Structure 1
Amino acid sequence: MIRKLMMISAAATLLAACQQAEAPANPAPTETAQAQSAIAGPGDMAPDFTLVDAEGVSRKLSDYRGKTVVLEWTNEGCPYVKKHYTGAMQALQREATEKGVIWLTIISSSPGTQGYVEGEEAKAWKAKYNASFTHLLLDPTGEVGKLYDAKTTPDMRVIDADGRLTFVGGIDDRPTNKVEDLEGANNYVKAALDQMAAGQPVATTFAQPYGCAIKYPETVTAEG
């Protein structure tokens, strides 16, 4: 009996050892997990990129190192963008750029979709909306939008002089397309810029983005 029990115990130990050998100690991350870990968030270095502006000039983010930079994703056909472009967005752009902030407005709309612009239409965009951004950047492949995980219009990023993201997400705490909701809203971008200028830490570093979904090329293909 004792010999039989010893044989059963040895077999169980061998089986357990085999099972442990078959299971990897550190499973390789899935492509989704790798993609998610690559997305830069508050406190991370802002990924560098180069885009062509409305005038046909290449603009590289790292060229503005040493300055505060705002990234704004936009789409002129989006009701949420229209809400802010009744004057509030232009006023914030003007206030920021007059203080030396570089404001880069980005259009990541896929060609053929609402919001996509090029050529003379892109050149006229700033005057058309009386905007005060530094440059209008065109991202027709959506590469830069996806690099920053921009999901909606508007979707905002604030980058400090060292190239780190200090704010990511929705522009304010009123996720509606109603113009009247601009009054009394807490504008996170303005707050971040004011706090950075005063040498203070940014109080709100992330806000849930809201607005119209950016139509990236694969989205257009999937939805038709």
Structure 2
Amino acid sequence: MALTESTMVNIGTPAPDFNLTDTMSGAKLNYDDVKGSKGTLVYFICNHCPYVIHTIEELVDVANDYEERGIGAVAISSNDVEKYPVDSPDNMEAFALNNLFTFPYLYDETQEVARAYDAACTPDIYLFDGQGKLYYRGRLDDSRPRSGKPVTGTDLRAALDDLLAGKPSPEKQYPSAGCGIKWKE
């Protein structure tokens, strides 16, 4: 699996809307259904990527820690399930339950949502402000599988704290990195 970095979409870009099925509830959800009053985290992840597996506990912890402070969260999987059946909706539900998700895990079957967000890898992390404008896009922290560095969520947590404090978007943002999204041919 080749390491792929996220596309650094322009700060201020509006959050693309979506209408996707939540693999846990079966409900169709859109951006307004998942957004928080002060901001929204959008994670592009999948079930099998070693980079996601390495960070999933902290991704969930970050979402939980900031939920009470007005930050909504959602995870989306856009991988081709024909070639990667481990990423199927049934397996997504099991993955979410096993990892104690408290936020929806949506299936992007057509991959249109990943394209609208310009998502490139898993995990690919976006933080939008309360008006739905991109505030942060990039990495959770500098830990990678087998790097020996602990997963701390430092970069994302700092961006969330800055957003909640009313500070401008962080000037220096590093791309996330992980497995490339498994596009359909």
TM-score normalised by length of structure 2: 0.83
Q: Kindly indicate whether the alpha-carbon contact (under 8 Å) linking 2:136 and 2:170 is maintained by their aligned counterparts in 1.
A: no
**Residue equivalent to 1:88:** 58
Residues 1-224 of structure 1: matches in 2 within 5 Å? 41-54=10-23, 55-63=25-33, 64=35, 66-85=37-56, 87-114=57-84, 115-119=86-90, 121-132=91-102, 134-174=103-143, 176-178=144-146, 180-182=148-150, 187-204=154-171, 206-218=173-185
**How far apart, in 2, do the equivalents of 1:47 and 1:206 lie?**
21
Structure 2 CA distance for partners of 1:78 and 1:43, relative to 1, 3 Å:
same
CA deviations over 1:20-40 (Å, ceiling 9, x no partner): xxxxxxxxxxxxxxxxxxx95
TM-score normalised by length of structure 1: 0.70
Which 5+ residue runs of structure 1 have no aligned equivalent? 1-38, 219-224
**How far apart, in 2, do the equivalents of 1:164 and 1:216 lie?**
26
Aligned positions, number = 175
Alignment RMSD = 2.2
- Counterpart amino acid of residue 155 in structure 2: Y
How far off its partner does 1:65 sit? 6.9
How far off its partner does 1:205 sit? 6.2
Structure 2 CA distance for partners of 1:131 and 1:182, relative to 1, 3 Å:
farther
How far off its partner does 1:126 sit? 2.1
- The structure that is helix-richer by fraction is 1
Q: Does 1 or 2 have the higher relative contact order (CA < 8 Å, sep 6+)?
A: 2
Give me the identity figure in percent.
27
- The structure that is strand-richer by fraction is 2
